[in-house]
Amino acid sequence: MSTAKKRQQSYTYTDYCQWPEDERWELVEGVAYAMTAPSRLHQDIVFELGRQIGNYLQNKPCKGYTSPFDVRLPHKDEADDNIDTIVQPDISVICDLSKLDKLGCRGAPDWVIEVLSPSTALKDMNSKRSLYERHGVKEYWIIHPEDRWIMVYLLNTQANYGKPEIFGMDEPTRVQLFPDLQMDWAFMQEM
């Protein structure tokens, strides 16, 4: 399992659970993708946003998680062993706590944040965006750390994302799912 992408067969959660714990993988519709070590800037952003979100969620009915945290996305009602899509978003917020179990989350989080890395940018912007849309993630943020912008997708009444909103990091960004929460980017000025 040392290649960036395995193409020889279709994998499921059963296979995923047997791979070495010191390797990080995602499965998207049965295709395995190796996850590379993130940059320091990537980790700074995930850590700070995780802190801001965690502070906000105290005493609220939603829970937030940072990667590595398995999100299993079943097609229908298949058993966990047969699920062929397991992702590890940089940040996941889940408000339906019945989706949480000892394995992570089964079903779509309400809010997902992915911080782009050169090796995963196309996957995050295309296949994962499509995947999150199909599974009903209400708010999906894509953050470009180097160019300092945020692309926000919101699930509309037709259950699709439509055109994203794009924001710079020069002022706080309001979270649509939680209107009284704004992500403060002041920490980026020091980087």
pLDDT string in tens for the chain (191-residue length): 344 455 567 899 999 999 988 888 999 999 898 888 888 999 999 999 999 999 999 999 999 999 999 999 999 999 999 999 999 999 999 999 999 999 999 999 999 999 988 777 767 777 899 999 999 999 999 999 999 999 999 999 888 999 999 999 999 999 999 999 999 999 988 77
Q: Which domains does the chain have, with CATH numbers?
A: 5-190 (3.90.1570.10)
Question: Alpha-carbon torsion 68, 85, 100, 132, what sign?
Answer: positive
Q: What is the pLDDT of residue 6?
A: 53
Q: With H, G, I as helix, E, B as strand and everything else as coil, classify residue 33.
A: strand
Beta strands in 23-110 (DSSP E): 25-28, 31-34, 63-66, 71-72, 86-87, 91-94, 100-101, 104-106
Residue 15 CA to its chain's centroid (Å) = 21
Q: What is the pLDDT of residue 1?
A: 39
CB 136 within 8 Å of CB 108: yes
Report d(CA 176, CA 89) in Å as an integer. 19
Total length of the chain = 191
Task: Indicate the DSSP class of residue 38.
Answer: P
pTM of the model: 0.92
Q: What is the pLDDT of residue 157?
A: 87
